[in-house]
Amino acid sequence: MAATDTIFALSSGQPPSAIGIIRISGPKAASALRLLSGTLPDERRASLAKLTDPDSGELLDTALILWFPGPNSASGEDLAEIHCHGGRAVIRVLENALGNIEGLRQAEPGEFTRRAFTHGRMDLAEAEGLSDLLFAETELQRRSAIQAAGGALSRKVEEWQTGILRLSAMVEAELDFSDEDDVAPAQLDALQSAAQDLAEEMANMLARPRAEKLREGVRVVLGGPPNSGKSTLLNALVEREAAIVSPIAGTTRDVIEVPIAIGGIPFLFIDTAGVRDDGAEEIERIGIDRARQQFELADLILWLGPEGEGPMSSNLVEIASRQDHPEYQPKSSDVLSVSPLAGTGMDALVRMLVERAKDIVPRGDEISVNKRQADHLALAQRSLDAILDFEDFLIIAEQLRMARGALDALTGRASTEDMLDSLFGKFCIGK
């Protein structure tokens, strides 16, 4: 699809609703609005208009219309909005009328936001933040995403870019004019020290939890032998019957994943097959193998089996479960003991999970980066760190150029079409 096409789509929630908002963006947005309403309102002022079919003259709806000439619009190009009644039939007939206008077509998913990016209304980091904001379900997700969408990371990157450009100017002065008396030669120690300061700032950000963890949730895997109370504990934690509970060994044969938010933090609780070495038939053995794979991916492992027999992991938390069961086996005095059925110890377990999760997910009031951003930021950091190893200004200039290029890629100033397609394809049609 050509970027010069004029596109339209419903940008509000799916009908029926009180109000439906249809956006039109592109060079023919003004003419399309005139064809429907017979007028073009004053820019950035809502006007009441009767919308009629351009072909038949039939009245379609009475709506508010708005006109935003580019480049000062959400998409960076001419943009119109129709705020109509939100019934399905109204939306459908207006979309049909727009689709019959020559040069207009239905927008692809994320195409409005992609055009905003293309026209410089937002950079890639802000677009990724907007994507996270659209999918945010918890307050922590919302706070983190709105920072990114509002340009917090982009402003920090711009600050780093300014610092690197200043260092590059010092190096270029040394290379080009060091033989002229009126230009002071760059001081290598000062340059290396400034580069190291920038690298340390980037390293501090890279050390923070990744932004993806807010979207994916803290992975809490329940592990133990058959009949150790994993499924019962899972059901108690998520407060519903998510897993089948049975005294028959091997009841849980596959991985059961249940997402839930606790204390505003997203969790993904994972029930696994009971781990045992003997007596398992073929299908149960597959479940046990999958359980062991989940242990490797876990942020936290709640081990309900015999103390000291869980997988070797720094993320393992011993739990003495089934406190009210006749076969209850206590563990060390500092191990949390719970009874999911009676509720004993469950509040303490939830508090522990929330406290541990705070070290795993980003804080809502600080900037965090996703994996793509972290990869580019790490390249910039390594390039700046490498300056300490060189005294040749030509090599230092190249390291600074690589750092600038990595930061440009982070914000999308140097991006591939495939990566952009992957990002914007996740958006809804009218965004």
DSSP 134-152: HH--SHHHHHHHHHHHTTH
Residue 333: CB partners within 8 Å, gap ≥ 6?
Answer: none
By DSSP bridging, strand 17-25 and strand 104-106 are unpaired
Domain residue extents for the chain = 6-122, 127-210+368-412, 218-357
DSSP 173-202: HHHHHTTSTTSPPP-HHHHHHHHHHHHHHH
Residue 335 in contact with residue 253, Cβ under 8 Å? no
Which CATH number is correct for 6-122, 3.40.50.1980, 3.30.1360.120, 3.30.200.20, 2.10.109.10? 3.30.1360.120
Report the CATH number of the 218-357 domain.
3.40.50.300
CATH topology of domain 127-210+368-412: Four Helix Bundle (Hemerythrin (Met), subunit A) (1.20.120)
Domains 6-122 and 218-357 share a fold: no
Q: What is the largest CA-CA distance in the chain?
A: 90
Write out the chain's pLDDT in tens, 431 residues: 555 799 999 999 889 999 999 999 999 999 999 999 999 999 999 999 999 999 999 999 999 999 999 999 999 999 999 999 999 999 999 999 999 999 999 999 889 989 998 888 888 888 888 888 877 777 888 888 888 888 899 999 999 999 998 898 888 877 776 655 544 454 788 899 999 999 999 999 999 998 888 888 899 999 888 888 888 898 889 876 654 444 444 444 467 888 898 888 899 999 987 776 665 566 666 777 788 888 999 999 999 988 888 888 889 999 988 777 777 777 887 889 988 888 888 999 999 999 999 889 988 778 899 999 999 999 999 999 999 998 888 899 999 999 999 999 999 875 545 444 655 565 565 65
CA distance 375 to 398: 19
Secondary structure of residue 228 in the 3-state scheme? coil
